[in-house]
Amino acid sequence: MFRKNIQQVNRLMRTALPLMTKLNIAPTPYNYGIWYEYASNRTPQLNQAIDSTLRKFSILPDFVSKELFYEFVLPNERHHSISQSPRLNDVANDLESSTKKISKDVSNFEQTLFKTRKVLKTANKPDHLEKVVNYLEKETIKVNKATESFNRSLLEAQEELEQLKIELAKMRQDVEIDPMTQLANRKGFERQLFAYLPYAEDDLTLLLIDIDNLGLVNAEYDKRVGTSLIRYIARLLHSLLPEKAFIARLEGGKFVIIVSEMELSLASQFAEKIRKEVSSQKIRYKNTKTLLKQITISIGVATLLGEESSEQLITRVQNNLDHAKQTGKNRIVNH
Ligand SMILES: Nc1nc2c(ncn2[C@@H]2O[C@H](COP(=O)(O)OP(=O)(O)OP(=O)(O)O)[C@@H](O)[C@H]2O)c(=O)[nH]1
């Protein structure tokens, strides 16, 4: 993108900048990069991804801009930063030296075969032939060993890369995991919702769940009891999840469940099941064995409507939760 002539750059920036201003896009380097590319219209997948994100979210969240930037604008840049990892450098260096060695060994063997063929044309005595056979056998064993050693290097590199892949996935997960409950955190939720939205029809439902009177639990028993209760409810909710559902803890005693492929009426039945299950628990604080008074939760339920953005969906589900709290708690609201 940076090698274009200056008039073309100016023309594209003149298209990109008003678009960014109109859509209230923050003037970050990532955004400049992707909106410049958008204006150039030369990467249809990028334009489609931006259009679909704006349709669903109304905005272009920062983390999405970064993803799009690395995916479509400067894919090599991410390569570059990963390639700075010393372990990856080691793998690349090892592979380079073993590749050089095997190339040399194979080329030597080719020479040997060439020479052997030449000698065979003139060799007519048995001892002469025997020498050729022995020589060929020795060289074959040598190249065989070299190949084995190269295969081992390849296997080691493959294993190291597998390991690095696992570690990278874990690093990403750590950033999106709530250490208190081991559920996803708000960032994990946002990423998951973003992943679901482009494919969602009218069957993507959010359940926003909040433990009732957590402040009172803290005051009456102790804050540690409240925290232990949050963990307990997290485990219980997780155990009740249907297939194709995702749960995250947003803050305090507040959780969100995304259920895909479930319409409002079924999702509401599921919410009701969770509510009943929680209210029927006999919960003891494990350290003192104190039996807590009845614990309840309130739930807002909302299903994605047509071209609704994620923000609008989240606002509706929050309104429903607020309504459940204002009208007595320990209930679900889904309108
Ligand atoms: N023990 C504990 N308490 C927390 C934690 N995070 C937030 N809280 C408390 O949770 C309470 C959340 O407040 P609210 O949700 O506004 O009120 P609530 O007391 O739960 O009452 P309602 O939501 O109206 O039912 C506050 O008292 C916070 O101090 C936590 O990690 N551990």
Per residue in 288-325, pLDDT tens? Answer: 888 999 999 999 999 998 878 888 999 999 999 999 99
What's the pLDDT at 121? 82
What's the pLDDT at 151? 76
How many angstroms does the Cα of residue 216 sit away from the middle of ligand 1?
Answer: 8
Query: Is the CB–ligand 1 distance for residue 101 below 6 Å?
Result: no
Nearest atom, ligand 1, residue 212 CA: 25
What's the pLDDT at 14? 65
Query: Is the CB–ligand 1 distance for residue 178 below 6 Å?
Result: no
Query: Is the CB–ligand 1 distance for residue 226 below 6 Å?
Result: yes
Overall average pLDDT of the 178-196 stretch: 89
Q: Is the pLDDT of residue 124 over 70?
A: yes
Q: Is the pLDDT of residue 1 over 80?
A: no
What's the pLDDT at 195? 81
- Residue among 185, 186, 214, 216 whose CB has most ligand 1 atoms within 8 A, to mutate: 214
Q: Is the pLDDT of residue 59 over 90?
A: no
- Of 84-93, 147-156, 246-255, the one with minimum mean pLDDT is 84-93
- Is the Cα torsion angle 322, 326, 329, 334 positive or negative in sign? negative
Element counts in the chain: helices (H) and strands (E): 12, 7
At residue 163 the predicted structure's pLDDT band, cuts being 50, 70 and 90, is confident
Q: Is the pLDDT of residue 167 over 80?
A: no
Query: Is the CB–ligand 1 distance for residue 214 below 6 Å?
Result: yes
The 3-class secondary structure across the chain, one letter per residue, is: CCCCCHHHHHHHHHHHHHHHHHCCCCCCHHHHHHHHHHHHCCCHHHHHHHHHHHHHHCCCCHHHHHHHHHHHHCHHHHHHHHHCCHHHHHHHHHHHHHHHHHHHHHHHHHHHHHHHHHHHHHCCCHHHHHHHHHHHHHHHHHHHHHHHHHHHHHHHHHHHHHHHHHHHHHHHHHHCECCCCCCECHHHHHHHHHHHHHHCCCCCEEEEEEECCHHHHHHHCCHHHHHHHHHHHHHHHHHHCCCCEEEEEEECCEEEEEECCCCHHHHHHHHHHHHHHHHCCCCEECCCCEECCCCCEEEEEEECCCCCCHHHHHHHHHHHHHHHHHCCCCCEECC
At residue 2 the predicted structure's pLDDT band, cuts being 50, 70 and 90, is very low
Per residue in 191-223, pLDDT tens? Answer: 888 888 877 777 899 999 999 999 999 999 989
What's the pLDDT at 207? 97
What's the pLDDT at 71? 78
How many angstroms does the Cα of residue 215 sit away from the middle of ligand 1?
Answer: 5
Q: Is the pLDDT of residue 233 over 60?
A: yes
Q: Is the pLDDT of residue 119 over 60?
A: yes
Q: What's the CA gap between 75 and 77, in Å, rounded? A: 5
Query: Is the CB–ligand 1 distance for residue 252 below 6 Å?
Result: yes
Percent of the chain with pLDDT over 70: 87
Q: What's the CA gap between 131 and 97, in Å, rounded? A: 33
Overall average pLDDT of the 229-246 stretch: 94
Burial of 71 (0-12, 13-18, 19+ CB in 10 A): middle
Nearest atom, ligand 1, residue 218 CA: 1
Q: Is the pLDDT of residue 83 over 50?
A: no
What's the pLDDT at 3? 40
Global pTM value: 0.59
Q: What's the CA gap between 34 and 12, in Å, rounded? A: 12
Overall average pLDDT of the 254-283 stretch: 93
Residue 269, C-beta contacts closer than 8 angstroms, at least 6 positions apart: none
**Residue minimizing CA distance to atom 21 of ligand 1:** 213
Nearest atom, ligand 1, residue 224 CA: 1
Q: Which two tokens stand for residue 264?
A: 């409002």
The three-state secondary structure class of 87 is: helix
Per residue in 6-38, pLDDT tens? Answer: 556 556 666 666 777 777 777 666 777 788 788
